[in-house]
């Protein structure tokens, strides 16, 4: 079965044309994308890019290969975190468990949540500030829903929750409008809140 997400291109160019092509590729990579077969393809967080060069008879053969390495996630939109929509149900289940077990389970969930959020935050920050490109929809929506889930946990910095959620809302709204400048401001503000909260509660 062929992989519809994989893209390949083969070119035979002169030395001068090859140099120009490589410069074009480098410029695209700085912007977070690569051009293959006249199609501009965004570079996801988990993407494998292979560029092969072979010189013969004053001609250079260039092979470009682009493939997301994480293709297990479905392409259709689905709820990304059940704890956002099913938090009340989850809490009721926890109430019926042994208090010690419930506390340990909640702590484990929170730790996993925070690790994923930290990774996604860094990716969004890098895309908006350094790459000057709009991050992937899946990435932004997952971070937003995880932010809502995080702010449902008690005793984890509740004094910051209201301000944090306002900036998270600003981030998702500016993403919907493809407003890179507003996204950059929101993610920077979220970074400051995260740092202050971590300093106080770690």
Cβ-Cβ contacts under 8 Å for 189 (sequence gap 6 or more): 167, 170
Mean pLDDT (whole number) for 128-148: 93
- Residue 101 pLDDT exceeds 50: no
Virtual CA dihedral for 80, 103, 148, 145, nearest 10 degrees? -10
| Residue-wise pLDDT tens digits, 33-61 | 777 666 666 665 556 777 877 877 778 78
User: Of 9-23, 102-116, 122-136, where does the model show the most confidence?
Assistant: 122-136
Q: What percentage of the chain has pLDDT greater than the value 70?
A: 67
Closest to 38 (Cα-Cα) out of 7, 15, 2:
7
Cα 202 from Cα 196, distance rounded (Å): 10
Q: Domains, the chain, ranges and CATH?
A: 7-68 (no CATH), 82-201 (1.20.120.10)
Cα 49 from Cα 105, distance rounded (Å): 39
pLDDT at 97: 46
Mean pLDDT (whole number) for 105-128: 86
Mean pLDDT (whole number) for 174-190: 95
| Residue-wise pLDDT tens digits, 67-76 | 766 544 444 4
- Taking a C-beta distance cutoff of 8 angstroms, is the pair 42, 136 a contact? yes
pLDDT at 23: 77
- Residue 104 pLDDT exceeds 60: no
pLDDT at 44: 59
pLDDT at 95: 53
- Residue 77 pLDDT exceeds 70: no
At residue 1 the predicted structure's pLDDT band, cuts being 50, 70 and 90, is very low
pLDDT at 110: 80
pTM of this structure: 0.50
Closest to 119 (Cα-Cα) out of 144, 149, 139:
139
Q: What percentage of the chain has pLDDT greater than the value 90?
A: 33
pLDDT at 170: 96
pLDDT at 93: 54
Collect contacts of 197-200 with beta carbons under 8 A, ≥24 apart. Answer: 197/157, 197/160, 197/164, 200/157
């Amino acid at each position: 079965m062929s992989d519809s997400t994989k893209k390949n291109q083969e070119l035979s160019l002169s030395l001068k044309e090859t140099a120009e092509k490589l410069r074009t590729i480098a410029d695209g990579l700085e912007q977070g994308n690569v051009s293959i077969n006249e199609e501009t393809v965004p570079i996801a967080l988990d993407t494998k890019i292979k560029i092969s060069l072979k010189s013969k008879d004053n001609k250079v053969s260039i092979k470009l290969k682009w493939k997301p390495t994480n293709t297990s996630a479905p392409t259709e939109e689905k709820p990304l975190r059940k704890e956002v929509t099913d938090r009340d149900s989850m809490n009721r289940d926890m109430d019926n468990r042994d208090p010690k077990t419930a506390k340990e389970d909640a702590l484990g969930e929170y730790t996993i949540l925070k690790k994923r959020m930290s990774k996604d935050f860094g990716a969004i920050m890098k895309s908006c500030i350094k790459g000057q490109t709009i991050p992937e929809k899946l990435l932004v929506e997952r971070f937003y829903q995880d932010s809502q889930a995080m702010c449902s946990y008690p005793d984890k910095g509740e004094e910051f929750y209201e301000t944090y959620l306002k900036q998270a809302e600003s981030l998702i709204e500016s993403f919907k409008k493809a407003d890179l400048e507003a996204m950059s401001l929101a993610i920077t503000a979220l970074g400051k809140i995260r740092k202050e909260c971590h300093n106080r509660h770690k």
